[in-house]
Structure 1
């Protein structure tokens, strides 16, 4: 049966989209999450042909963690972020397994 596994990541975990540096430990942790998702997708595809395993970036969510960055980036409330992710999850197909996507369903570079 079709199934979806989504792991929350962050755009800062993208090696290809790192233009400003900084946040070394957080970036490394998210890059590790992305590698786990990508590898798990390859492994699961062997036995679960209808599964989609993806990493997702929710965007900048207005929380106490992001409050000092909110003037520099558009943000959404946690409930809107959740709705956006659920919307993308509902459209995922097995052919998208192993991808890194944002809150709109657009690909994020690894």
Structure 2
């Protein structure tokens, strides 16, 4: 299934609102994740948020290294929360990840 132009515009708008100062290389990857078939059925702002957290967790934190060291997903996510929020703050995100926030 192809991504519609309306969906692309909605994702672009949500990205601009959520991450006004994110680097292009990062927004390009986040845009692709938000348009992935797993997130495509969600409203654009929610898909962009989930894609952003996934991208930052894997590309800008020690999450994968913690998993490799034997930490379970929940523990690894706890330990990288501040790293994720630091990246989001640097990008002047309009939302930060909360410690008790449920994820899909």
TM-score when normalising by structure 2: 0.30
By percentage of residues, which structure has more strand?
Answer: 1
TM-score when normalising by structure 1: 0.29
